[in-house]
Amino acid sequence: MPISTLFIPRRLTHRPPSWRKARSAAIALLALGPLPQLAHACATCGCTLSTDAATGYSTASGWRINIDYTYIDQDQLRHGSSSAGPAQVVNQPSDPSLGGGEIEKQTINRYINLGASYRFNADWGVSFVVPYVIRDHDTYGTQLAPYTPSETSPDQISNAHVAGVGDVKVIGSYQGFLPQHNLGIQFGIKLPTGHYGGQTDDGSFVGQPTTFRSGPGLGQSLDSSLQAGTGSTDLIVGAYYFQPISQNFDMFANGQFQAAVSERMDQPGANFRPGNLASASLGLRYEAHANWVPQLQLNLFHRSADQGAFADTPDTAGTVAYLSPGISTSLTSNLQMYAFVQVPVYSHLEGYQLFPHWTGTVGISMKL
């Protein structure tokens, strides 16, 4: 199976034409009161866990089925490597031309991933990953400077709920470079199978976007990067290596790069291209016990900025690192279960982005 990359996208809605007109007047006259406007969420947060390493790389032929669940609660606003507050977001916006900034409250993400992999032999394999995305996003919207506490009152909260199949990945692998079959490469594609979309300046919807279901933003489109899918076809390349380093310890290292090569939202004023993704993981597995394997991963992730009229470019790029302790256990000879907690140990985020204090993943893997 490929490296798990359930990365959280940017914030939320595209600005409607009424906001842009009001914003221009406010900047010109410095007289308008704050108008709620919804924007986007953190693109550099999420599960970078290597599920391949969680259950151990294999050279055995045949099918393996994997199901995992990841929980990510983005409940803190951050800027650079520090926390940020509502006043800073509004009074020192990442895009000064707005005359203010979006005050995000929280994004709760739940991912259920169904994966299937087939090894033709010790050298060649292919895997499929189908994600189901459940996301709840709350925001106070974009408010004009200067910040006042009334801008974060409960009646300013808008909520959107996403639930649906995300973008499917198909990834091939080859690990026949060495006699031990422990060095491999990956090559694959992400397909635009999830619902995607956005809202143009004239209020028209593009694609099939989820919209806000309550609050001042009711009926507006959720940002393109927070939909279940991105509307893009991406190419994926990667490599991995695993090796025993002592009687009881195995190590692994892997990396993956993903970039969009085709976008369905490609028209002027209605375009969106997700940022490139680069991830790497290093880890140790303690193999002294036959039925349970403690392990530790260091997961690194970098994302470049989203691009296009539907993108919140100043608030999408960043680099993060997670320390991920976990354990896998053999329930039967063909059935394994694993659980990990990811704790962020470093983050440098462009603009203002929601970020989690921790993430959790549990999964089960079966050899058929």
CB count within 10 Å of CB 245 equals 10
Residue 1 in domain: no
Kindly report the number of other CB atoms within 10 A of residue 313's CB atom. 18
Does 99 fall in a domain? Answer: yes
pLDDT tens track, the chain, 368 positions: 434 334 444 443 334 333 333 333 322 322 333 333 333 445 555 456 776 676 767 788 999 999 999 999 999 999 999 999 999 999 999 999 889 999 999 999 999 999 999 999 999 999 999 999 999 999 999 999 999 999 999 999 999 999 999 999 999 999 999 999 999 999 999 999 999 999 999 999 999 999 999 999 999 999 999 999 999 999 999 999 999 999 999 999 999 999 999 999 999 999 999 999 999 999 999 999 989 999 999 999 999 999 999 999 999 999 999 999 999 999 999 999 999 999 999 999 999 999 999 999 999 999 99
Kindly state whether residue 275 falls inside one of the protein's structural domains.
yes
User: Is there a domain that residue 167 lies in?
Assistant: yes
Q: Using alpha carbons only, how large is the chain's radius of gyration in Å?
A: 22
Domain count along the chain = 1
Q: Which two tokens stand for residue 83?
A: 């926390």
CATH code for the domain of 15: 2.40.128.130
Report pTM.
0.88
Let me know: does 40 contact 1? Beta carbons within 8 Å: no
Give me the domain span that covers residue 79: 6-367
- Is 233 part of any domain? yes
In a domain, 129, yes or no: yes
Residue 270 lies in a domain: yes
